[in-house]
Amino acid sequence: MKRIGLLTSGGDCQALNAAMRGVVKSLDCSKEDTEIYGFLEGYKGLIYGNFKMLTGKDFSGILTKGGTILGSSRTPFKTIREPDENGLDKVEAMKQNYYKLRLDVLVILGGNGTHKTANLLREEGLNIITLPKTIDNDLWGTDMTFGFQSAVDIATDCIDCIHTTAASHGRIFIVEVMGHKVGYLTLNAGMAGGADIILIPEIPYDMDKIIEAIEKRHQRGSAFTIIAVAEGAISKEKAALSKKELKKAMEENPYPSVSYEIADEIQKRTGQEVRVTVPGHTQRGGSPCPYDRVFASRLGAEAGELILKGEYGFMVGYRNREIVKVPLEDVAGKLKMLEPDASIIKEAKLLGISFGD
């Protein structure tokens, strides 16, 4: 009998259900006797013992369903060692609930913060397997994360829709795409949607270069400009500040986000109308795209195989078009950034896309 715990932690995204379904179906097909315990609302469920027993029926019909049937929440790694408001030791509570249910393994689906806590639990002696979930595609050790392609599709559709109204009114439109620290989502959606300017966190922008790119388009007879901006995009001036100085500058910034700051500056310097569109959490929602359904199912199936083999302490990742197992200690705490000299950025520039640098 294998006793398996499941939890989904951090921001939700498409294909979480597909990935869990992959784990459970692969175990069912092996004919191994299993008990599945689903912890509700991420690590909170594991801390406070909030779980429910699941059967194969719970995973039927969820391949195409967005979100997560277990619910999710953010439990910051930086406070995981701090007692809760009632003095409860959160790490010890998670361990006790794991042992109380006599689990053989805990399968955790999540992004960067989730993997830090997962590795901590591994270090504390628990059997852990993780699956890489994030729309940002910024997890180290894997070329792809599930949820990313679905989010790219949604952000691209938003940019596609903006094109017609931008052309009709001859306006400059800014589409703010999710991504605080990395620009994979903005870059891919921007290229797919035909954005003229793409601003990402890894390449601090120069406002003069943005204005220059807009004016070049105007001189060529283009009455509108589409700018895809990552929510974590940063100017060269702010990028040069210390962490303390930057924090103070952000606190004093009167704009709701970087896109509105850029829009205001463009309007002042060009006199052209500028509009900002923020698709926000729509990028996390809806059904997973076909790619993510297949990809998450493959990852889940491989996780099931690791469980049957008793191989723990790994993230199931994807490298060079093959599913691989990556030691958790190699993943935790590392961010997969876009390199400014990456070939995809070079090729985007060859297409005439400006990065504001």
Q: Which residues are catalytic?
A: 136
Q: Give, as one character, the DSSP assignment of residue 182.
A: -
Q: For the purposes of burial, counting CB atoms within 10 Å of the CB of 316, is it exposed (0-12), middle (13-18) or buried (19 or more)?
A: buried
Contact call for residues 173 and 226 (beta carbons, < 8 A)? yes
Read off the tokens for 44: 């909170």
Contact call for residues 5 and 108 (beta carbons, < 8 A)? no
Reduced to 3 states (helix: H, G, I; strand: E, B; else coil), residue 37 is strand
In sequence order, what are the residues at sequence separation of 6 or more whose Cβ sits closer than 8 angstroms to the Cβ of residue 157? none
The residues pairing with 105 across neighbouring beta strands, listed in sequence order, are 4
Cα 85 to Cα 10, 79, 90: the distances in Å are 21, 12, 11
* Nearest-angstrom CA–CA distance, 315 and 199: 31
Count CA atoms closer than 13 A to 263's CA, side-chain side. Answer: 22
The label of the residue with tokens 């009998």 reads: 1
In sequence order, what are the residues at sequence separation of 6 or more whose Cβ sits closer than 8 angstroms to the Cβ of residue 252? none
Reduced to 3 states (helix: H, G, I; strand: E, B; else coil), residue 142 is coil
Which DSSP string corresponds to 194-255? Answer: T-SEEE-TTS-B-HHHHHHHHHHHHHTT---EEEEEETT--BHHHHTS-HHHHHHHHHH--S
| Cα–Cα–Cα angle for 144, 146, 151, rounded to 5 degrees | 100
